[in-house]
Amino acid sequence: MCYDVILFSEVIYKKENYEKCANIICTFLNETGVCYLASKLFYFGVGGALPEFKQYLMNNYKSVLSFETTKLFDNKKGNKREIVAIKKVKL
């Protein structure tokens, strides 16, 4: 079964989750669907980071997945947060 929308929040705080997340998107997202990933830009002390996850997608899934920032939250008091839309690349 495939889905039109997949929602992820706070799932890339460990680098070990990058491949798992990308595989879920590739396996369960409809060809015209979108995965929204809500995340902090950096997770201090645990190793994950949104810029690193984007680079991971570019390095390993460039021909399969595309992404764009849909919203950036910056309250000027702490870690920024971002919502990223991830879609399957149309062939």
CATH code, 36? 3.40.50.150
Note the pLDDT of residue 75.
83
41-53 confidence digits (pLDDT tens) = 888 777 888 999 9
Name the domain count of the chain. 1
Model pTM score: 0.90
Residue 39 to residues 1, 9, 32, 42, 58, Cα–Cα distance (Å): 26, 6, 23, 8, 18
Domain ranges, residue 71: 3-88
CA–CA separation, 25 vs 11, rounded Å? 13
> 22, 65 in Cβ contact below 8 A?
yes
Mean pLDDT of the 34-40 span: 95
Residue 20 confidence class, pLDDT cut points 50, 70, 90: very high
Q: How many residues does the chain have?
A: 91
Mean pLDDT of the 55-63 span: 96
Residue 69 confidence class, pLDDT cut points 50, 70, 90: very high
Going through the chain in order, the beta strands assigned E by DSSP cover: 3-9, 29-40, 65-73, 81-88
